[in-house]
Amino acid sequence: MSDPTEAKTLSPADRSAEFVPVEGGNDDTSAGALLVTAYLVAWAVLFAFVVSTWRKQQSTLEKLSRLDRAISEGVPDKD
Amino acid sequence: MSKSTAFYALVSITALSLVGLICFVAFETPTAQMAAGGLAQKIFYIHVPSAYAMYLCGAVCFAGSVAHLSGESDSRNSVAQSGAECAVVFGLLMLTTGPLWAKKAWGVYWTWDPRLTTTLLSVLVYASIVVFRSFVGDGAAERRAAAAIGVLGTVNLPIIHYAVRLWGGNHPTVITNTGGGLKDPAMTQALFIGFFYFTLLAILLLWLRTRAVSLATQASLLEERAIAEELLED
């Protein structure tokens, strides 16, 4: 029995211009829902990355200023 | 122009181009034929540019890694690390948007097509750099090892690009003289707006991450000094 997700064999020239369904697949999912999901997921991933970078940067800046103060004043850092 | 002014100018232009891209894709680009996924084909305008942005960040990781291996420095290490991190983010975008479009165009979310498989491999290589750096620390040997993986990981990028031309599979070659299926000028324009937006976004994220890594390096150097001066417990 053949693999239901096996791709049809196409020449490179055909593949460059065609979208060929995989055998055994189905396309009953709403195109609009897929489109909205793709755009939402993309912006959510980017937003999460920017927010996590910003938060890490803020905590590093705080740590830097604490260490700077401790070194310049010669007072041990309690945090 | 100061660095801060340039940064906020870049943020503003990136935000404007994002709005431009969404409006153009929503109102100007026509819906593609059902074989290409119909309405879902509009995922193309973020899917392809995110692949391109991954290549761009992979190239930055490669350049930083080669530079670091040829002469070690904190700034080169920061560039290599931020390149790998941003390559993972854009790789994840590509690997989430692609399957959603494939569900409509091919009928399945995933198939072990050569291009999909080599792309997954490449994202895993960059993810391994990020995980490696998170867990093994930031010593000179660890930095060199991460840089070596960064150089090796980039070798896979041309393989991804040519995989679809060399081997069988479902993925279209996308951008060739004959391929891509961009029959309407608005489709080509939307793709180029997407490339413009993702170029700015990649520069912005690389800038942010390089600065974050540099600050973390400064903090660890100060921490070592504070420990040496007994101002901080080991």
The one-letter code for the residue type at A11 is: S
- Interface confidence, given as ipTM, is 0.83
Which of the residue ranges B21-25, B106-110, B208-212 would you say has the lowest mean pLDDT? B106-110
Mean pLDDT for chain B? 87
Mean pLDDT along residues B201-209: 95
Domain that holds residue B135: 50-228
Distance CA B124, CA B135 (A): 16
- The predicted-structure confidence for A5-52, as pLDDT tens digits, reads as follows 444 555 555 554 566 666 666 667 888 899 999 999 999 999 999 999
Top residue of B48, B232, B233 to mutate, by most chain A CBs within 10 Å, is: B232
- The predicted-structure confidence for B16-32, as pLDDT tens digits, reads as follows 999 999 999 999 888 87
Residue A2: predicted pLDDT: 44
SS3 state at B73 = coil
Residue A7: predicted pLDDT: 46
Structure token pair of residue A38: 């793709």
H or E element in which residue A16 lies: none
Using CA coordinates, name the residue in chain B closest to A20.
B106
Residue B17: predicted pLDDT: 92
Q: How many residues does chain A have?
A: 79
Q: How far is CA B140 from CA B41, B123, B145, in A?
A: 46, 24, 9
Residue B214: predicted pLDDT: 92
Nearest to B169 by CA among A79, A8, A57, A45: A8
Q: B50 with B202: CB under 8 angstroms?
A: no
* Minimum distance, in Å, between the CA of residue A47 and any CA atom of chain B: 11
Mean pLDDT along residues B189-208: 94
Residue A37 counted as domain residue: yes
**Structural domains counted in chain B:** 1
Top residue of B39, B175, B225 to mutate, by most chain A CBs within 10 Å, is: B39
Confidence of residue B3 (pLDDT cuts 50, 70, 90): confident
Q: Which residue has the higher pLDDT, B61 or A67?
A: B61
Residue A54 counted as domain residue: yes
What is the maximum alpha-carbon separation in chain A?
77
Mean pLDDT along residues B43-52: 93
Query: How many A/B residue pairs have CB atoms within 8 Å?
Result: 168
Q: B35 with B105: CB under 8 angstroms?
A: yes
Residue B175: predicted pLDDT: 60
Set of chain B residues whose Cβ sits within 8 Å of the Cβ of A53: 205, 208-209, 212
Would you say residue B180 has pLDDT above 60?
no
Determine the straight-line distance between the first and last CA of chain A, rounded to whole angstroms. Answer: 65
H or E element in which residue A52 lies: helix A31-73
Mean pLDDT along residues B135-159: 88
Residue B59: predicted pLDDT: 95
Residue B39: predicted pLDDT: 84
Residue A16 counted as domain residue: no
Share of chain B above pLDDT 70, in %: 94
Domain that holds residue A57: 30-79
Sorted by sequence, the CB contacts under 8 Å of residue B217 that are 6+ apart come out as B74, B77, B78, B138
Distance CA B166, CA B160 (A): 10
- The predicted-structure confidence for B115-139, as pLDDT tens digits, reads as follows 888 899 999 999 999 999 988 878 8
Would you say residue B35 has pLDDT above 50?
yes
**Structural domains counted in chain A:** 1
Structure token pair of residue B41: 């084909």
Residue A5: predicted pLDDT: 46
Distance CA B169, CA B111 (A): 9
Would you say residue B232 has pLDDT above 60?
yes
Q: Which residue has the higher pLDDT, A79 or B228?
A: B228
Alpha helices by DSSP H, chain B? 3-27, 44-70, 74-105, 114-136, 140-166, 185-228
User: DSSP label at B69?
Assistant: H
Q: Do B107 and A26 touch (CB under 8 A)?
A: yes
Distance CA B151, CA B64 (A): 9
The one-letter code for the residue type at B86 is: C
Residue A1 counted as domain residue: no
Residue B173: predicted pLDDT: 64
Helices B44-70 and B114-136, axial angle in degrees (round to 10): 50
Confidence of residue A78 (pLDDT cuts 50, 70, 90): low
Residue B46 is nearest to which of A17, A39, A75, comparing CB atoms? Answer: A39
Residue A5 counted as domain residue: no
Q: B160 with B122: CB under 8 angstroms?
A: yes
Residue with tokens 């041990």: A76
Residue B125: predicted pLDDT: 94
